Structure 1
Amino acid sequence: MRMPRRGLVIQARTRWLLVGLALLFSLVLLMYLLECAPQTDGNGSLPGVVGESMGKEYYQALLQEQEEHYQNRATSLKRQIAQLKQELQEMSDKLKSLQEKKSPKINGMNYQGTKEQTSNDLLEFLHSQIDKAEVSVGAKLPSEYGVIPFESFTSMKVFQLEMGLTRHPEEKPVRKDKRDELVEVIEAGLEVINNPDEEDGQDEDDGVGDRQLYSENDFIEGYYRTERDKGTQYELFYKKTDGMEYRHVTLFRPFGPLMKVKSETVDISRSIINVIVPLAGRTEAFAQFMQNFRDVCIHQDKRVHLTVVYFGQDGLSEVKSILESVARETDFHNYTLVSLNEEFNRGRGLDMGARAWEKGEVLMFFCDVDVYFTAEFLNSCRLNAEPGKKVFYPVVFSLYNPAIVYANQDIPPPVEQQLVHKKDSGFWRDFGFGMTCQYRTDFLTVGGFDLEVKGWGGEDVHLYRKYLHGELMVVRTPVPGLFHLWHEKHCADELTPEQYRMCIQSKAMNEASHSHLGMLVFRDEIEAHLRKQAYRTNSEAAR
């Protein structure tokens, strides 16, 4: 690599400086030797007394002249040295400023090395990895297959989509490298929060003594995903037990040290969620949904508005009665009932629910009557959607048919006891995009749902693709607090071949796990084997 011209000039000056210092040292040594030389007889130096006298004066004048010359030279060299030091300091300050502007800080998290030891090429490379990755700005993707979903985790568990035959939807980070990675990331996030930089927006007069320090116990949840050619992105959330204010930290590991991307404070205390539920019939399921809504939204969260869009007249009065009953018992009146006397269309129902809101901007949660959610999910909804920047597409944990899962019991357990993340109880519904959190303005900006889609399925995928083709970031991750309860599926004959195939696929995947379906397939063989075993046992007993 060619050295910059300024570097060559400094190198040349330094070389001349060293030569001058060497010359000065030699002359000073010569003067010292002359001054310390032993005195000799006058006749030995110059003939006669006059010669001796003239010789002393001559050498004294010569030495004085040389001393003045070298003093002037030394003063000049000192001046040049001071000038070079000043220029070197200016270059160092400029380099430091450039590094701070162009690259996030690497060494603010107790990592070895200093900025001076990190080459400009490495810093520029690491910075370019962040620029290329989908960290702060969404990337335009051709379809839903191009999305790299997040894995979610807490301090004790990881919720993962890719399971295969050995991994589980929820498990502890058993492997040491994964456990060490997550511990390191959580601690790095704490380092960012507890030692904020000026650009993080902290008040200058907010001293360490006044600022609350966060610990590992304040970590709530996190998400991570890896782009194989760029690095790993981490989204971390911390919260004090007695507060509503969250701290959000984004980190990025570009196949090297962790790099801070941003740190911010997120206040969700006034964030209202408009839960929009399209419905036709299924009043029993709605009654169960309202029980969950009462427990979570009314009694715990208290920052939720409910919008029910009901299709048809059959069952409408019962739905009204359920809503009025909940309102009387809990003094909850933040709900809207929109009645449409037409055939059920989920996309149209959600679109009407979004447009029925007349109070400006609001965060919307598109929900189905078969969905069970927790208060923690509502906060995740608020934290991962941002107007004009992010939309949240959580992956729902879909429960299998309880009649199959709990076939060895007389009756299935209550719904609350079925909400577990196990391989035989359910799966991460990564092919479903119906449950989503997004702001109303973003929904209207992309044009909402395609209302030409009729019947089951398809409308959610179309909306999802619109966001993928735009510039908003799509956060896609499994969420432990969101469940889809099993219910009987009916695939209507009037569906298009594509819709019917999707419906049957969804129906098959919702019935039971791989092992349970295998037992059902080979049930005849199993029963035949049991009969043979019983026959042999009876025959041996008869002997």
Structure 2
Amino acid sequence: MLRRGALDFVVRVGVVLVVVCSCLSLLYVLACSPHSPEGLSLLPRANAPTRKEGYQALLQEREEHHRHYISSLEMQISQLKEALEERSQQLKNLRKSLEEVAGTAPAERPNGAGDQSSIDLQEFLQKQLTRAEVHAGTKLPSEYALVPFETFTLHKVYQLETGLTRHPEEKPVRKDRRDELANAIETALQDLNTPWEGDNLNHRRVYSPADFIEGISRTEKDKGTLYELTFKGDRSHEFRRLVFFRPFGPLMKVATERVRMDNMLINIVVPLAKRVEQFRHFMFNFREVCIRQDGRIHLTVVYFGKDQIREVKGILEKTSREMKFRNFTLIQLNEEFSRGRGLDVGARIWKRGNVLLFFCDVDIYFSSEFLNSCRLNSQPGGFDVDIKGWGGEDVHLYRKYLHSRLLVVRAPSRSLFHLWHEKSCSDQLPPEQYKMCMQSKAMNEASHGQLGMLFFRSEVEAHLHKQGHQSNGSRS
């Protein structure tokens, strides 16, 4: 019985060992066999490709991928070639324009003239740089001949302005100015970050817009624009300064047009309330300029209220009788005075076709040259009637034009004057209009220097008294 039990035990142990060895062998095969790139199972499946077919499919997929990649590169190269050709054509057109301005046709150029024109252009730009005040200053006859600089940072521009309401900081900075200065800063950063010969690239600093401190610039109208830009240096109390110059090229004709103004009628709209004497002076100038000299004028007077309306009618009737002038309209409104309302009524009352509107104040003096300037530079628009009382309607109209596609010409007129008169700012005005009225009143009363002398009168008198006392003491 013992032998039989021992034999059974040995058989069982052998079976267990065989099973364990089989499992270990299977695990070894699974762990050490090479992985299929297609994720194929080691065990064959129905309708599954063999190992050789799987590798061929993988190679075909990679080849297709490379083919698409090459096709993408070829497309990018083609696009770059087109861009290069476009830039080359633009350069040719620029050279052609410069040659036309210089008076030499492209056909007159001998062989190799393309290189010569490029050399001529470089020489011209270098000449502009030499003529400008870049490396050294020039002798000036007085302080008024100096072209001032502007200071700028990443987000602000500071200008030299005159007048009490002008602030040296330009708010907001115009888009063209932002783009211009950003281009100058970007060019400077590219230069700073370009490696020099012998530089250690591992320790080289990379400059960013945050390193820009400030810059100054000024434009000489016939030469170009100078930029001086200052950046932080590599060490404390060290700075990097770069100077750039954008030269101007020769004049290029943009357009030629013939403007006929024979039948261009101007409708002068004047809102008025009382102020008969001022209106009498206005009509004296109107007789000379608009009736005798120009003759293509219609006058529209919009009068608010009933006081002194007879005097206004009498002035118009006298002008009509003596000058044989019939082109005027008098409109009476029994309302509180509103310049915006008056201008709107005066503009809408016109029913005789197209007319050029001149919104005018009774204190404005103008010449016949100004009327022609109006005809040359003005276009009709719309108008806001919601603004009551003093000021604001002209600014609102100006801002409305800025948001349109009209070309807004902002320039001083040498033949237009606002005659002095005392200003009064009503307490009924909103805060913003009251502030504008007070600023206009301050500029109207005296110059900056005169107002300063009034403000510091006590200090000036004390100084004069002290000087007089010292003079008397020295004489005795």
Q: TM-score, normalized by length of structure 1?
A: 0.45
Written as runs of structure 1 = structure 2, the 5 A alignment for 1:1-20 is none
Letter in 2 for 1:359: R
Give the counterpart of 2:335 among 325, 338, 342. 342
SS in 2 for 1:453: coil
1:521 Cα deviation after fit: 1.5
Name the structure 1 match of 2:409. Answer: 475
Q: Counterparts of 1:366 and 1:227 in 2: how far apart (Å)?
A: 38
Give the counterpart of 2:261 among 268, 271, 277. 268
Name the structure 1 match of 2:424. Answer: 490
Q: Is the 8 A contact 1:449 1:460 kept in 2?
A: no
When the two chains are superposed, the root-mean-square deviation of aligned CA atoms in Å is 3.9
Residues 1:302 and 2:295 are matched in the alignment: yes
Describe the superposition over 1:58-116 as per-residue Cα deviations: whole angstroms up to 9, x where unpaired.
xxxxxxxxxxxxxxxxxxxxxxxxxxxxxxxxxxxxx99x988x999544443578487
- Unpaired stretches in structure 1, ≥5 consecutive residues: 6-94, 123-161, 167-223, 229-252, 386-437
Q: Counterparts of 2:421 and 2:222 in 1: how far apart (Å)?
A: 32
Describe the superposition over 1:2-49 as per-residue Cα deviations: whole angstroms up to 9, x where unpaired.
8989xxxxxxxxxxxxxxxxxxxxxxxxxxxxxxxxxxxxxxxxxxxx
Q: 1:348 to 1:227 in 2, by over 3 A?
A: farther
1:452 Cα deviation after fit: 2.0
Q: Is the 8 A contact 1:327 1:333 kept in 2?
A: yes
Q: Counterparts of 1:523 and 1:349 in 2: how far apart (Å)?
A: 43
Name the structure 1 match of 2:206. Answer: none
Give the counterpart of 1:352 among 337, 341, 345. 345
Q: Which structure shows the higher strand fraction? A: 1
SS in 1 for 2:420: coil
1:537 Cα deviation after fit: 5.2
1:484 Cα deviation after fit: 0.9
Q: Is the 8 A contact 1:344 1:455 kept in 2?
A: yes
1:530 Cα deviation after fit: 3.4
Written as runs of structure 1 = structure 2, the 5 A alignment for 1:240-319 is 255-319=248-312
Letter in 2 for 1:503: C
Q: Counterparts of 1:164 and 1:461 in 2: how far apart (Å)?
A: 20
Q: Counterparts of 1:266 and 1:108 in 2: how far apart (Å)?
A: 26
Letter in 2 for 1:260: K
Q: Counterparts of 2:224 and 2:430 in 1: how far apart (Å)?
A: 36
Q: Counterparts of 2:102 and 2:272 in 1: how far apart (Å)?
A: 54
SS in 2 for 1:489: coil
Name the structure 2 match of 1:376. Answer: 369
Q: Counterparts of 1:514 and 1:306 in 2: how far apart (Å)?
A: 37
1:449 Cα deviation after fit: 2.6
Residues 1:451 and 2:396 are matched in the alignment: no
Q: Counterparts of 2:431 and 2:263 in 1: how far apart (Å)?
A: 45
SS in 1 for 2:388: coil
- Unpaired stretches in structure 2, ≥5 consecutive residues: 1-76, 83-88, 119-158, 164-220, 226-245
Name the structure 2 match of 1:463. Answer: 397
Q: TM-score, normalized by length of structure 2?
A: 0.51
Q: 1:517 to 1:227 in 2, by over 3 A?
A: farther
Q: Is the 8 A contact 1:105 1:260 kept in 2?
A: no
Written as runs of structure 1 = structure 2, the 5 A alignment for 1:407-446 is 438-439=379-380, 443=381
SS in 1 for 2:445: coil
Residues 1:522 and 2:453 are matched in the alignment: no
Q: Is the 8 A contact 1:348 1:449 kept in 2?
A: no
Q: 1:288 to 1:280 in 2, by over 3 A?
A: same
Give the counterpart of 1:321 among 314, 322, 325. 314
Q: 1:334 to 1:254 in 2, by over 3 A?
A: farther
Q: Is the 8 A contact 2:96 2:106 kept in 1?
A: no
SS in 2 for 1:510: helix
Larger Rg: 2
Equivalent residues, number: 273
Q: Percent identity?
A: 57
